[in-house]
Amino acid sequence: MKRLAFVFPGQGSQRVGMGKAWAEAHAEARQAFAAADAALGEPLSRLCFDGPEADLQLTRNTQPAILAVSVAIHRVVAARTGLRPALVAGHSLVEYSALVAAGALEFADALRLVRQRGELMQAAVPVGEGGMAAILGLDAEAVEAVAAAVSRDGEVCAVANYNAPEQTVVAGHRLAIERAMVLARERGAKRVLPLPVSAPFHSPLMRPAREALAPRLAAAEFRDPAVPVISNVDAAPVASGAAARDALERQVDSAVRWVESVQWMATAGGIEMFLEIGPGAVLGGLIKRIVPGVAVASLSEPEALSAAIAAATT
């Protein structure tokens, strides 16, 4: 069997209908969604399966919904296949999913923390004052230079996500982001895309959210993970519950170092295949650009499970 990493996709992968086929096909997924509904005291599963889309797109709902779907799929994989990861990682909010998969955090606790995280991040910056944009076709160093050049007069622009070698996301004050988009085009960016998000995630403007989330994280029980979890903020494994908690706190207002995380898994971690567990296939595409030629499979729908097992075991 190939040496596997389980990776979990984050915000932006959500869609109405996600997880429904898994729940219809497998008891483990149904049980996971029932547990999510109970933990939050509301029908999160119905929102995942049937929408409405406007409600699913609200950050306070999007974040626990994606977590629930990824954990539901993981439970099917864990129960019905012999696939076991050597490493796990989650992009942004679903570092929580990775910790649940590694046995470091209870599913119900993760759901409640992610719901609080989403609410606090939304509240940190008034609607309309912040923004995010993806810059394609410039390397990370060039985007860092753009962000530094447009940050002035108290308006911040900072790198929020290092997603692929030439795909970097910036976040900050709306006017600074608008300046960054113009300057990035002038400096040769192939595409510059404003992101349809409600807050400037993973930027220094999220400091109030980090400070408010810290006591909630401190109150939750974290165990040492059974499988090393690669943290977004350090692009390195955490091996203790205390380190996992600290990494989750710091990632709120720090950049997601996904490129370095994947590179670490492929080199130091010896990973031969990445299995994407959750809605969509965004991470698979990014991983192929970060480590060309590596084996990747995405489990968005149950029909993909047989092929993933075959690819991992041959």
DSSP result, 17-43: TTTHHHHHH-HHHHHHHHHHHHHHTS-
Cα–Cα separations (whole angstroms), residue 289 to 88, 167, 182, 294 = 19, 10, 25, 9
Average pLDDT for residues 9-19, to the nearest whole number? 93
Q: In the predicted model, what is the mean pLDDT of the chain?
A: 96
**pLDDT 10s digits, 36-62:** 999 999 999 999 999 999 999 888 899
Q: Rounded to 5 degrees, what are φ and ψ at 134?
A: -95, 135
Q: Rounded to 5 degrees, what are φ and ψ at 6?
A: -95, 125
Residue 11 has pLDDT above 90, yes or no: no
Residue 285 has pLDDT above 90, yes or no: yes
- Which residue's entry shows tokens 């895309």? 193
Tell me the three state secondary structure of residue 85.
coil
Could you tell me the pLDDT band of residue 128, with boundaries at 50, 70 and 90?
confident
pLDDT of residue 39: 98
Average pLDDT for residues 218-232, to the nearest whole number? 97
pTM of the full predicted structure? 0.96
**pLDDT 10s digits, 78-115:** 999 999 999 999 999 999 999 999 999 999 999 999 99
Residue 287 has pLDDT above 90, yes or no: yes
Cα–Cα separations (whole angstroms), residue 225 to 11, 100, 249, 276 = 24, 9, 17, 19
Q: Are 89 and 278 in contact (CB under 8 A)?
A: no
Q: Which residues pair with 130 in a beta bridge?
A: 173
Task: Domain ranges for the chain, please list them.
Answer: 4-124+205-312, 130-197
- Kindly indicate whether the domain formed by 130-197 is annotated with CATH number 3.30.70.250: yes
310: its two tokens: 């075959």
Q: How many CA atoms lie within 13 A of 262 on its CB side?
A: 27
Could you tell me the pLDDT band of residue 200, with boundaries at 50, 70 and 90?
very high
Residue 197 has pLDDT above 90, yes or no: no
Average pLDDT for residues 157-185, to the nearest whole number? 98
Report the catalytic residues. Answer: 92, 202
Residue 198 has pLDDT above 90, yes or no: no
Could you tell me the pLDDT band of residue 274, with boundaries at 50, 70 and 90?
very high
Q: How many CA atoms lie within 13 A of 202 on its CB side?
A: 26
Could you tell me the pLDDT band of residue 6, with boundaries at 50, 70 and 90?
very high
Residue 189 has pLDDT above 90, yes or no: yes
The Cα–Cα gap between 135 and 121 comes to 22
Contacts of 306 (CB under 8 A, 6+ apart): none
Residue 257 has pLDDT above 90, yes or no: yes
Considering the domain 4-124+205-312, what is its CATH architecture?
A: 3-Layer(aba) Sandwich (3.40)
| H or E stretch covering 6 | strand 4-8
